[in-house]
Amino acid sequence: MKKSFTAYRLFAGENGTPQGRFVELGVNDLSPGEVVIRVAFTSINYKDALAAVGTNRIIREFPRIGGIDLTGEVAASTDARFREGDPVVVHGFGIGVEFDGGHTQYARVAADSVMPLPAGLDLLEASILGAAGYTAGLCLHWMEHNGLRPESGAVLVTGATGGVGSVAVDMLAQRGYTVAAMTGKADAADYLKSLGADHIVVASTAQASGKPLEKPLWSGAIDAVGGEVLGWLLRTTQSDGVVTSFGNAGGAEFHATVLPFILRGVKLIGINANSPMALRHEVWAKIAGAYRPKHLERIANVIDFAQLPQAMAQLRDRASRGRTVIRMQH
Ligand SMILES: NC(=O)c1ccc[n+]([C@@H]2O[C@H](COP(=O)([O-])OP(=O)(O)OC[C@H]3O[C@@H](n4cnc5c(N)ncnc54)[C@H](OP(=O)(O)O)[C@@H]3O)[C@@H](O)[C@H]2O)c1
């Protein structure tokens, strides 16, 4: 292991806005953990972009290395479950927020947060999926657990060009679902259709209305946006449909009545991707197998570590699509 390596560290800034810069660190500068990982790939998620601007004070202690997911090989471990050279995946469990995360050549994390690389995926594929792909897989897992099947009817993905949305569109299409993709980007139709979307729904379709129920359109939905969009989804989901809510890109508050629940039996399922390890194993095995997306290379923008600050700004400005993956040079 190298004595010193490069990390992108966030420092407390004025007015609560963190300041990020590349620094040279040693392994003992990282937050504690039993496993040191030579990072192969990390990525930029919505939460990383928010954390870096200080929104909602996602990061409360500085300095901190962001990056809520990473893949790589174990460089050293004091925990007997992991040996040098093991390929591993880490996401959630507070990395990149409460503890140092993946935006570094070497990461040090708690052994309980480390998962062996799922069989059937390589490190790049697992990083293109990352926390976002896991979230998409978790939504589908719970939707199918609640009865959703390809023959049930069209499934809508909102925030469809985003990281979770892009993987969800691809995953659903590969699994045989009819996929509708909602986007606010005027030029995204070709991209979304190339991932398997059957229909494009313009974001402005989801308007507030005084009605408690509207024409049923969806057998299920994977919702990144929240806010008024979630209220509209509940009103337009067919009987026994399943809506998964995992994001608030468009707002946290929404208006709804109980009528979709009591007259149509619509189910609303909350998704928190920071799942216990046993569920991660189950869902990652599906993602690598039955749910496997087909177009990961179309979803991924693979960039160098040096491009991280600009890529983070693009994600914040809603100017990126798919997943932004950082290939770590060593
Ligand atoms: N619950 C969990 O465990 C969990 C896990 C992962 C992510 N999340 C949350 O899920 C959301 C999406 O995450 P992500 O990683 O996919 O983010 P992302 O890659 O930044 O994508 C978000 C997408 O949402 C749409 N969007 C952005 N701003 C919007 C706005 N103001 N109004 C309406 N739509 C907007 C955009 O899609 P279009 O331009 O195509 O409309 C954007 O590409 C975030 O809120 C994130 O915090 C939660």
* pLDDT tens per residue, range 132-153: 999 999 999 999 999 999 999 9
Cβ–ligand 1 distance for 133 under 6 Å, the answer no
276 CB-side CA count, 13 A: 2
Residue 188 Cα: closest atom of ligand 1: 40
Query: How confident is the model over 212-236, as a mean pLDDT?
Result: 98
C-alpha 89 – ligand 1 centre gap (Å):
22
Shared fold status for 5-117+296-327 and 132-270: no
Q: Best substitution site from 156, 318, 323 to test ligand 1's pocket, by max atoms within 8 Å of Cβ?
A: 318
Closest C-alpha to ligand 1, atom 37? 159
* pLDDT above 90: percentage of residues in the chain: 93
C-alpha 312 – ligand 1 centre gap (Å):
14
pLDDT at 214: 98
Q: Is 296 helix (H, G, I), strand (E, B) or coil?
A: helix
Distance of CA 54 to the CA centre of its chain: 19
Q: Rounded to an integer, what distance in angstroms lies between the CA atom of residue 143 and that of residue 177?
A: 12
Whether residue 18 is preceded by a cis peptide bond, meaning omega within 30 degrees of 0, is no
Give the DSSP letter of residue 251: B
Query: How confident is the model over 106-128, as a mean pLDDT?
Result: 98
Q: What is the mean pLDDT of the chain?
A: 96
pLDDT in tens, 294-326: 999 999 999 999 999 999 999 999 999 999 999
C-alpha 160 – ligand 1 centre gap (Å):
8
Q: Best substitution site from 69, 185, 225 to test ligand 1's pocket, by max atoms within 8 Å of Cβ?
A: 225
User: How many helices and strands, by DSSP H and E, does the chain display?
Assistant: 9, 16
Query: How confident is the model over 58-84, as a mean pLDDT?
Result: 97
Q: Rounded to an integer, what distance in angstroms lies between the CA atom of residue 107 and that of residue 114?
A: 11
pTM: 0.98
Fold of 132-270: Rossmann fold (3.40.50)
Q: Work out whether strand 35-44 and strand 87-91 pair parallel, antiparallel, or are unpaired.
A: unpaired
What homologous superfamily does CATH list for 5-117+296-327?
A: Medium-chain alcohol dehydrogenases, catalytic domain (3.90.180.10)
Percentage helix, strand, coil, to 5, in the chain? 35, 30, 40
Q: Rounded to an integer, what distance in angstroms lies between the CA atom of residue 98 and that of residue 105?
A: 19
For residue 277, give the nearest of 145, 130, 112 by alpha carbon: 112
pLDDT in tens, 231-251: 999 999 999 999 999 999 999
pLDDT band at 15 (very low <50, low <70, confident <90, very high): confident
- Domain coordinates of the chain in residue numbers? 5-117+296-327, 132-270
